[in-house]
Structure 1
């Protein structure tokens, strides 16, 4: 292992980073932190996300988004063009403040414009998993009962076929000219300014039951998450300036426009926040990938001079492999981040070897917390590369034991958090909300970990029975429910195994007399998103091992996997 990663203490780097944080969050700063009602807040934060969005008009003719239309032709739009398109869409939505508007599309420019229009019109953006099957998407729509669905042609067809009867606008097709003229001519009522506690967006997540739930995020939640990301960027800039013996202002004046490659799905909190809104609000260029392709990603990094690339380890390995094999240039990259799962140490070393000029970072967060809970970039990350990040200034983090007792430094228990980023609750799920959110605002993450003396968070295990494969959350309970519908099946279990490229891969063991491995995989893939199907299935006649409570013992199953699967 390199000297860079051998030293896991680096107290001088932690102290230096703390000094930069103090300057960035000090009095008079845009990121000045205060306290109200027991919560840490950004003093200068507006109450309404649309007010932040409007501030980006100042970037005018600067390139805002690079995308490819349905025919595969490249298109570039400036900030002026994106705002013009958004303003044209607002009256067509025909909604009032507080109305829920679902967005069901692949990553594309229309998705960005749709979200901006919903915020301008005062709606609540419901972010639907575009990778889900028609019935899965229908279940989400029926749960929130949106006033209108903004979709692409593929999702429009899928939800109609699944039985959705509500209003749908296919934004990938031209609007009827008469309808456009009539709507535009109508004087839309002023949506006014939202209250900080008004709902802003609903993002879907699951839990140990595997049933999707809509996490309701307020304007304050989303804005705090966004500003925390922006603050992190300013801290990185401050650290870089200190290393170079200059000021952040002087360094910013010399830097070209930031260009980021958007690879996370926009319905994920990471895609919405760090992938789209954060660079948008900073005047950056967002280059959209609709689906991952290492060759295309390498081409875009070089052609668009991508400076910020945040991805899951799988994607980083792909890009690094390309660079090793054919000399793909990564010289433009200045910030490389990883989300979805921890960065393997060997991957960190490989990134540093090929991109020594880039700041490397990682983070830990969740949908219910509007993004990051802990983050570390550059010197902070290198000080503890095995950690999930350092707890952010806006979030309180504590560790609780089995009986709810607060544990001390270095002790392992459930990670529990509180802050202005924490969701209001799950849409129409009061019991499930009460199970994770206390009356005084503490959110039980379901993750097991510890916090060290410098505030670094280490994830030890997950209480949730969940697999993170290629950055996608796959809930075993959801897969097992689908497996349970196979005719003749008597027992089943889905679980994760380590995988160098994917982080984890999902496998399953079933007792079913009339189906083989390929049939089981096809059964799941036809009823859930394809990535939720197990990569391997062992079909057996032997009863599955169970623990003292009668539950399937997945620890024992993992040990038996080589024997059951023949791997």
Structure 2
């Protein structure tokens, strides 16, 4: 790569070429500074209930003390958090980090199979789980290393209103399946116990792991990206430096609709805005678009982050156009490509440009962001952020010239330490000198703007979540009526892409409905195939490898059955 770094001359005013990662020893140091600086300011809001920075400080310290004092967990032990966006999430998150533990963010929608793999692989000793998903945990907990379970209901920290919320969810909406976890402790009881213990003060450095953030990476089976305190501090400061000139301390109200267990929301909303004294409005169920729009009406929000499907969904919800956008000055899209039609419509309705950012779980996540003073959507993922180098490499790992198409490579302090207990997988994506193979095919223009052209991997991106064909195929092959299967991504107007299956039947009587039911039992929603096509045969290479690309390239696939 040339040493000019063409992007630097196109940086927005005030954005430094480098950030000083040594300003903070750990994520905890950032949090504790914010707790002191913004004590009286509201930090998180959920269902109308707000907690201040001071209250989050107290409650997360109690949870940290519970983990170390009562449960006798040690620095470096893994704690899984299986919660949606509710007030308990930041308390559990910050508490685990303050205790020196490694947070294992766990998607609440996981099936038993997916949950078991993550708990087993991470070696999590404890888990905080919402009542709604505890029945899933019950199925697998005996086969994992989990010794301690903390359960909570959505309404548990909402006061009197919360009692009603919990009652409606359980008895009216029937959203809480019954479960039996006799060893479990209630979240509020854990906090009360922790309040009687001394809060831990572990010594943390940039090398200590803060998160095991699970991703399929380059192959199908989910792996834990080891994100250190150094990685996370770097990315908070990089993103903060990039967007900071547009933001005002103690004034920002950010809509947090993407789940905080997703790396984009975790860093951009959960952490960057803590450093600014911002208020996170937690949206527990953004799929309920009418309720979401109602929340937006009451919030006077100034910032919103999301994926393309979220922005598109809001634009298509009646009443959104009459929301008050007068304070909105930052709309940030990531997690999947922002579509031009959505970005243009967003600007027209809200008056705010939808700026696209790019990142990966393995980069904590931000690597490139568009300047926030963009006048209109430009189709680019932006410029490499401070302290970040980006290069385009050829198949034989040689840097390519400006405008040439190759694999996007990223180097910077936000690049993960590696995959948890997978040196072989780590070696596939990290070079000896720290360059990360992203698996995305891209080009860079003369100004340093990066454009994604295609994906090297066969990964499917559904609403910002990675779906790996290997995992889908491996699981579907377990159905006794399936002989062969291939999974590909097909364009979908709602989710960007959707999963499509091509199946060769072993049992001629196997039906599409039967196979869809099997997928419902084994995959969380976004992984389930939207369409299934039966074939007599699948295209293969000369060594018998199924050629997914040929299936993707077919113009008019002809179904043999249903």
* Aligned with residue 190 of structure 1, among 198, 201, 205: 201
Name the CA distance, whole Å, in 2 between partners of 1:150 and 1:525.
Answer: 25
Name the CA distance, whole Å, in 1 between partners of 2:116 and 2:281.
Answer: 30
In the alignment, structure 1 residue 474 sits paired with structure 2 residue 474: no
* Aligned with residue 554 of structure 1, among 544, 548, 551: 548
* Aligned with residue 167 of structure 1, among 142, 145, 148: 148
Residue in 2 that maps onto 1:244? none
Superposed displacement of residue 90, structure 1 = 1.6
Do the aligned residues in 2 keep the contact of 1:264 with 1:275 (CA within 8 Å)? no
* Equivalent runs, 1:208-357 vs 2, <5 Å: 208-236=218-246, 252=248, 257-292=251-286, 293-322=288-317, 327-356=322-351
- Once the two structures are superposed, residues 59-90 of structure 1 have per-residue CA deviations (whole angstroms, 9 ceiling, x without a partner) of 1222211113xxxxx42212222212112212
Residue in 2 that maps onto 1:121? 99
In the alignment, structure 1 residue 455 sits paired with structure 2 residue 448: yes
Q: Secondary structure at the match of 1:473?
A: strand
Name the CA distance, whole Å, in 2 between partners of 1:217 and 1:517.
Answer: 41
Residue in 2 that maps onto 1:534? 529
Residue in 1 that maps onto 2:537? 543
**Aligned pairs, number:** 514
* Aligned with residue 200 of structure 1, among 205, 210, 221: 210
Moved more, 128-137 or 219-228: 128-137
Name the CA distance, whole Å, in 2 between partners of 1:473 and 1:353.
Answer: 30
* Aligned with residue 427 of structure 1, among 407, 420, 423: 420
Q: Secondary structure at the match of 2:57?
A: helix
* Aligned with residue 16 of structure 2, among 18, 21, 25: 25
Residue in 2 that maps onto 1:86? 60
Superposed displacement of residue 15, structure 1 = 9.1
Do the aligned residues in 1 keep the contact of 2:64 with 2:194 (CA within 8 Å)? no
In the alignment, structure 1 residue 439 sits paired with structure 2 residue 413: no
Q: Secondary structure at the match of 2:551?
A: helix
Name the CA distance, whole Å, in 2 between partners of 1:530 and 1:178.
Answer: 33
Normalising by structure 2, report the TM-score. 0.86
* Equivalent runs, 1:124-163 vs 2, <5 Å: 124-163=102-141
Distance 1:43 1:89, change over 3 A: closer
Name the CA distance, whole Å, in 1 between partners of 2:485 and 2:466.
Answer: 20
Name the CA distance, whole Å, in 1 between partners of 2:283 and 2:187.
Answer: 29
In the alignment, structure 1 residue 498 sits paired with structure 2 residue 494: no
Do the aligned residues in 2 keep the contact of 1:96 with 1:191 (CA within 8 Å)? no
Superposed displacement of residue 475, structure 1 = 1.0
Distance 1:353 1:428, change over 3 A: same
Name the CA distance, whole Å, in 1 between partners of 2:445 and 2:321.
Answer: 42
Superposed displacement of residue 421, structure 1 = 0.5
Do the aligned residues in 1 keep the contact of 2:130 with 2:151 (CA within 8 Å)? yes
Q: Secondary structure at the match of 1:379?
A: coil
Residue in 1 that maps onto 2:178? none
- Once the two structures are superposed, residues 211-262 of structure 1 have per-residue CA deviations (whole angstroms, 9 ceiling, x without a partner) of 010000111100111111111112445xxxxxxxxxxxxxx48xx8211111
Do the aligned residues in 2 keep the contact of 1:236 with 1:377 (CA within 8 Å)? no
Structure 2 residues not aligned, in runs of 5+:
1-6, 157-184
In the alignment, structure 1 residue 404 sits paired with structure 2 residue 397: yes
Residue in 2 that maps onto 1:4? none
Do the aligned residues in 2 keep the contact of 1:361 with 1:381 (CA within 8 Å)? no
Superposed displacement of residue 479, structure 1 = 0.7
Name the CA distance, whole Å, in 1 between partners of 2:60 and 2:116.
Answer: 26
Name the CA distance, whole Å, in 2 between partners of 1:389 and 1:141.
Answer: 36
Name the CA distance, whole Å, in 1 between partners of 2:421 and 2:499.
Answer: 30
Superposed displacement of residue 447, structure 1 = 0.9
Q: Secondary structure at the match of 2:558?
A: helix
Normalising by structure 1, report the TM-score. 0.85
In the alignment, structure 1 residue 76 sits paired with structure 2 residue 58: no
Distance 1:65 1:549, change over 3 A: same
Residue in 2 that maps onto 1:36? none
Residue in 2 that maps onto 1:96? 74
Distance 1:309 1:480, change over 3 A: same
Residue in 1 that maps onto 2:163? none
Name the CA distance, whole Å, in 2 between partners of 1:274 and 1:285.
Answer: 13
Q: Secondary structure at the match of 1:564?
A: coil
Q: Secondary structure at the match of 1:163?
A: helix
Superposed displacement of residue 189, structure 1 = 4.8
Name the CA distance, whole Å, in 2 between partners of 1:147 and 1:566.
Answer: 47
Name the CA distance, whole Å, in 2 between partners of 1:354 and 1:59.
Answer: 33
- Once the two structures are superposed, residues 259-310 of structure 1 have per-residue CA deviations (whole angstroms, 9 ceiling, x without a partner) of 1111212221102111211122211111112222221221111101122111
Superposed displacement of residue 514, structure 1 = 3.0
Residue in 2 that maps onto 1:249? none
Do the aligned residues in 1 keep the contact of 2:218 with 2:439 (CA within 8 Å)? no
Distance 1:211 1:182, change over 3 A: closer
Moved more, 162-171 or 143-152: 162-171
Do the aligned residues in 2 keep the contact of 1:302 with 1:332 (CA within 8 Å)? no
Structure 1 residues not aligned, in runs of 5+:
1-13, 27-32, 34-40, 69-73, 238-251
Do the aligned residues in 2 keep the contact of 1:260 with 1:284 (CA within 8 Å)? yes
* Aligned with residue 83 of structure 2, among 105, 114, 130: 105
Do the aligned residues in 2 keep the contact of 1:362 with 1:377 (CA within 8 Å)? no
Residue in 2 that maps onto 1:10? none
Do the aligned residues in 1 keep the contact of 2:409 with 2:437 (CA within 8 Å)? yes
Name the CA distance, whole Å, in 2 between partners of 1:332 and 1:298.
Answer: 16
